[in-house]
Structure 1
């Protein structure tokens, strides 16, 4: 087996820009990219035996921002004709 190390070119090291130093008397402030994160609330509702519905609510308006499983899936599950695995009606 031959050594191919001579044919490999060297790669320069990665350099990062210097971070400006803060004076010792100034506290470092935490970076908050999402200042309204406290506006939302996660609720977990037990539905039936071992099923749960997860909802993200807006604390200010009370609006449901996201729900898992979606309302359409909940309606499908509660349909007496629905059987697991049947998402598309192929009997038509």
Structure 2
């Protein structure tokens, strides 16, 4: 049995692999609100309008979320924020009949 260092990719020094993820990110209240907008499918402009902040400020928050969560897409950010409990599942859109 190995006592080697575990890397973020899930493999230890001996090459043994197991599913590991970086620790949960700590989002600010505003970042969580922006993440909620991302999960709802809103654009940066739409998130800004909803929160009463500029699109540029939304971009700053999105970048911070990506860095803290170690993700590279809006989809990854939304999924991870949901899994880690930072946001709630957005309501489903009404069916168009």
Please give the TM-score of this superposition, normalised by the length of structure 1.
Answer: 0.23
Structure number having the greater helix percentage: 2
Highest RCO, 1 vs 2 (Cα 8 Å, sep ≥ 6): 2
Please give the TM-score of this superposition, normalised by the length of structure 2.
Answer: 0.22
- Structure exhibiting the larger radius of gyration computed from Cα positions: 1
Structure number having the greater strand percentage: 1
